[in-house]
Structure 1
Amino acid sequence: MLRPARIALFTAASVALTGSLAACGAGSGSSAGGSSDAFSAANCQGGTLRVLDSAKNSKGFDPAVLYTSGGGAIPRLLFRTLTTRQSVPGVDGTKVVPDLATDTGKPSENATVWTYHLKAGLKFADGTPITSADVKYGVERSFSPQLAGGPPYLRDWLVGGADYQGPYGSGNTDLASIATPDASTIVFHLRKSEGDFPYLAAETQFAPVPKAKDTGKEYNADPVSSGPYTIAGFTKGRELDLVRNPYWSRSTDQQRLACPDRIDVSLGLSPAVINQRLSSSVGQDANAITTDTSLDAPTLARVSADPALKKRVVTGKFPQIYYLAFNLKKAPFDNQLVREALSYAVDRTALVNAEGGTQLAVPSTTFTPESLTAAHQDYDDFPAGATGNPEKAKQLLAQAGHPNGITVPLAYDTDDTSTGAPAATALQQAFAKAGITLQLQPLSDADFSGTVNTPATQPALTLTSWGADWPSGGPFLTPIFDGRQIVTGGGNFNLAQYNDPAVNAQIDKINQITDYAAAQKQWAALDAQLGKLALTVPLYEEATSVLTGSHVKNAYLDQWRGWYDIATVSVK
């Protein structure tokens, strides 16, 4: 998943400083709350939580087109799914737990069939019971071309998913690979082994949708809630008002505390205004948070110097790596020695400084970031030191037949403050010391993905990023290194266009493992194996620092999304 970049205050602050979006690198998250009263989950009800966001959220809230992993905190208030993330700080926040289902799924021996049973007593906000047919229909409608935008995995994983077009067309609109033998049982038949299926089942595509209430494209404005809140009012780009769902109960939902009576969301605010209001915490802003705006370097420095404000800063990391992507189909990067030369020439200190300093970015030499704890393995196959090794880079270029250096273009997204002009300029200056001339190729956000993610137009070298849809090595490594994931028509993320049948087979073998810890060890080993080939140049991870209002309690960053969960926050 491509995580949104930091929203600029000085030209940087974000969901991804966040968001998607951040696991706490050291395995812990800091809690925030300005009140002297201790937080009690048993006695946290009441009040109105204010949310100050910069995003306009013009797409609305159709579960078919959202990401719960990186698409923000609001959907989890409205939609329950078969599974969900465990709502605790630290490493345990990466665990998948039951939500609508009684467990995280029963797999067949080869993990190609997954069976779920729904809890008793589940109801929509209109009081009607939630059945397995509602979950099936929710998944099916996510295949409709008119509701595109959600995670792509189901189309690839489910039997018949590649050709299925959703329930709205004529003829057979049923996806037979999803079976509902009774009102509380749902069975998914996959075309290949997928040990990570319980993590995918936490995405909003698995939220139940009552067929009789489905309004197609218009469903995004007023979806039927299965979570603790329902929409009382929504003006796209301006505001969202949530009130309690009277049919939701903690007795069937152990992961959402749903403390506030109301949640009022203001949309389209400037990041500078958001952080100023959170910092001041005057009036209603004392009960405010933000779900998409982090602190930039100057503001973070000021806040860190104020003990009262510092207590209200929540910090952590989202498992996302910023890296250089080589196109192995284009010279000179078809030569591994040249790729290694660029790996040695990188000045990661300059890049971290370009991001705003060590509080906002951490250098990385591995593709799987340190914050993806279970799937991470330390390695540094091309040690450049803190500031680069230009002499080693020159030696490798000479061995590759380029004694006078090389000139190559570098594509980057001008609208992405994390992989934009400052980082590109830092790379240009460092590489010049090694005889590598970068011709900067700025692309607008509108042009970047279309150009870079289409093999026919992909540049030789790109500055980009990748984040995990859930805390596992599978969604981190597979789209980038599985040769079968190369998409010629666009939407391709295997920018190396690397296709090794042996690696593809390794990926299939790991996907059969349903033991999470065992699978992550194998993903970590595969990352270290691929690292030796210099298919990418890992650069850095971002860190998140975000303010809360002075009356907000129990705000900690989970290690799944890299943000705090509104469903666990309380106010006075």
Structure 2
Amino acid sequence: MRWTKVLTVGAAASLGFVAACGAPAANTGNNGASGGNDKVEGAAAALDPNAKGPAPEVPGAKKGGTLTVSYSTVPANFDPSDQFYQDTAVIFSLTHRALTTFTMRNGKMVLVPDLATDLGKSSEDGLTWTFTLKDGIKYEDGTPVKAQDIVFAAKRSFDPDLAANGPTYQREFFKGGADYQGPYKGDKNWNGVEAKDDKTVVFHLEKRFETLPYFVSFNQFTPIPEAKDKKADYQLHPLATGPYMFDKYTPGTELTLKRNPNWDPATDPARNDYPDAFHFKFGQDVLKTQTAILASNGDDATTLNWDSIDSSLVPQIEGEKKAQFEEGPSSCVIMVNMDATKIPMPVRKAIAKAWPFDSIHKAGGETSHSYSPASTIIPPQIPGHLDYVVDGMNGKGDGDAAAAKKMLADAGYGPDKPFELTYYYTNDDDIAQKVNQVRKQKLQDAGFKVTDIGVPGKERRKIVGKPNGKYNMLQSPRGWCFDWPSADSIIPPTIGSIALSQGGTTFGNFSDAKIDAEIKRIQQLSITDQGPEWGKMDKWLTENYLLAIPDYNDKGNSVFGTKVMNVHNNPNKGMPEITQIWINQ
């Protein structure tokens, strides 16, 4: 899953692998700070195919009030087919239901049926999966949800325009998916996904996909009635099936949600509906927002922020304001992405040698509460993770300008022939501007010519997600968060030809037959056997291709007002489990 904070959701014992990292100790009030230790816990989760609604009540919770969520980035859109970012996934968890979903129980994530009656039934050969819909599921307008709507949504996720930023698993695994272009541009008779009747959805696969029950929890499997699809304009008001629905949406600025009168809690084992409304504010200044929340005057007392805690505020959240801060594991590794089709390997190595990790973290106000240095693509909690460091790239230090200059000279570049680095940065955010000043200066000190293009935050996410953009580095994804805790949800969707085929950007924007062959070889193994092989591939990729420089392992941070209750970090996303929060009025 693409990481939202700087622009860029796992598995079960019965399938022989494990899920998202362990959560901090539970809290039932408005506190939950968990400290700044760097202990890495193994991933853990469970399947509950028999879970029924309604969701368990949160002890002491009350209904009412409006929860404001104010944060720094700006969603590109709210089209379910296009969503692969954490912030939109959190918001959609309130408004949209899929075939399956995750819920938090005692600090652990559990996969449960959502629109489906169970977690799916697989044929003996693993190439057919069948899901049956529950009775009584309706859209916000009162019309019934049908299997055909989920099939249409699944087909729509192949559209190269409407789903350019979405996941690509369906293209690789679904029968005939490699060349399918969706319901508007593709073969109308394509049946990689089909509806046997109003209640039965059937997936036909090219190869075994043991993690399919996890994949169908994604927004791409939230139902869309074909007759009500408005293509690019559908994102302005996607039809809700969850406890809340869109009220008012101003793209790039804010979104308000109100209660969905046609949501039936008896069918939903995962969601509570405590606040009367939600108000999301996009593109907000992090320091100002967090400072106001900690003071908790007026509406700030009912406001939540999920950006990394600013370093200037650490004394408060480690002291008297500790009860207003939640920290926990994240599924994300953050990378310095480079376009390998435009930057030669020797130059990519020089960038890595010059990269000012420490200065950038300092300029960004980041602390050990929000990150730990990384040297690998796969995070430490994933089974099969291989702990390695290539050429000193350990996510630490402030770069070696002299060594980088020599590497550039050896590659044929120098003062009379500088190598130009071109990238986009956010120019309407103070922190982003400070980070860019440091980054640009340090890269210039190392002998690079730097062309930095400033654009508003609401535009940058779209721009850096276009493979043929003017940049040659810092394209999306800036980082990657595992979709389930196995590296088959990390490397295949971010690297290689299939990842590129969906039309979005990848690590390196690079296609190579050797990479594709290795991904294919590992995917043919059992889930248990895949783990160590992905770890070896991780190191091989960094040594031989260096498509992106490992930067840091993210941590989830939440800062919230004194009236915001039951804030817990969701270890699948490193973000708050918003469906269980309530307001103490």
1:281 paired to 2:290: no
Give 1:78's aligned residue: 95
- How far apart are residue 398 of structure 1 and its match? 10
| Aligned pair partner of 1:468 in 465, 472, 481 | 481
Measure the CA separation in 1 of the matches of 2:499 and 2:75. 30
Figure out how many residues of one structure are paired with residues of the other and give that number: 539
Deviation at 1:77, TM superposition (A): 1.2
| Structure 1 counterpart SS, 2:22 | coil
Are the equivalent residues in 2 in contact too, given 1:101–1:119 (CA < 8 A)?
yes
Q: Report whether the alignment pairs 1:376 with 2:397.
A: no
1:175-214 Cα distance to aligned partner (Å, 9 max, x none): 4221222333211123444444333211212112344554
Q: Deviations over 1:503-534 (max 9, x none)?
A: 3233124334574x654444333213323325
Alignment partners' CA distance in 1, 2:373 and 2:291: 29
> Is the 2:337–2:507 Cα contact (8 Å) retained in structure 1?
no
2:279 alignment partner AA: V
Provide the residue aligned with 1:533 in structure 2. Answer: 544
Contact 1:375–1:521 (Cα < 8 Å) also in 2 = yes
The corresponding residue for 1:493 is: 506
In 2: Cα distance, 1:233 partner to 1:3 partner: 25
Aligned: 1:353 with 2:353: no
Alignment CA distance shift 1:73-1:449 (3 Å): closer
Q: Distance in 1 between matches of 2:576 and 2:20?
A: 15
Contact 2:557 2:575 survives alignment (8 Å)? no
Q: CA deviation at 1:167?
A: 4.5
CA 1:420 to 1:382, structure 2 compared with 1: closer, same or farther past 3 Å? farther
Which residue number corresponds to residue 277 of structure 2?
A: 263
Corresponding residue of 1:9: none
Counterpart in the other structure of 1:189: 204
Contact 1:390 1:431 in 2 (8 A): no
Does the 8 A contact of 1:552 with 1:569 survive in 2?
yes
Q: Deviations over 1:99-119 (max 9, x none)?
A: 222333334566543322223
For 2:228 and 2:348, the matched residues in 1 are separated by 54
Q: Does 1:47 align with 2:64?
A: yes
5+ residue gaps, structure 1, are 7-15
Other structure's SS at 2:3 match? coil
TM-score normalised by L of structure 2:
0.76
Residues 359-398 of structure 1 mapped to structure 2, 5 A cutoff: 359=368, 360-370=370-380, 373-374=382-383, 376-383=385-392, 386-387=396-397, 390=400, 393=403, 397=407
SS at match of 1:188: strand
Match in the other structure for 2:522 = 510
- Equivalent residues in 2 for 1:57-72, closer than 5 Å: 61-67=78-84, 69-72=86-89
TM-score normalised by the chain length of structure 1: 0.77
Cross-structure match for 1:316? 328
* TM-fit CA distance, 1:555: 1.2
Map Cα deviations across residues 215-269 of structure 1 (whole Å, 9 max, x no partner).
55554444432212234555654551311535412x4322212233x12315357
Q: 1:12 matched to which residue of 2? A: none
1:13 corresponds in structure 2 to none
Deviation larger for 436-445 or 27-36: 27-36
Percent sequence identity over matched residues? 24
Q: In 1, are the aligned partners of 2:2 and 2:480 still within 8 Å (CA)?
A: yes
* Higher mean C-alpha displacement, 217-226 vs 174-183: 217-226
8 Å CA contact 1:289–1:547 kept in 2: the answer is yes
Match 2:113 to one of 95, 98, 120: 98
Q: Write out aligned runs for 1:2-41 (5 A).
A: 2-6=2-6, 27-29=22-24, 41=58
**Which residue of structure 1 aligns with residue 195 of structure 2?**
180
Residue in 2 aligned with 1:159? Answer: 175
For 2:383 and 2:207, locate their aligned partners in 1 and report how far apart those are by CA, in whole Å: 24
- 1:477 is paired with a residue whose SS is coil
CA drift at 1:313 = 0.6
Q: Does structure 2 retain, via aligned residues, the 8 Å contact 1:64–1:147?
A: yes
| AA of the residue aligned to 1:547 | V
Partner of 1:245: 261
Separation in 1, partners of 2:474, 2:307? 30
User: Corresponding residue for 1:297?
Assistant: 311
Query: Would you say 1:425 and 2:438 are equivalent positions?
Result: yes
Q: Name the CA distance, whole Å, in 2 between partners of 1:552 and 1:98.
A: 28
Structure 2 gap segments, 5+ residues each: 10-18, 33-55
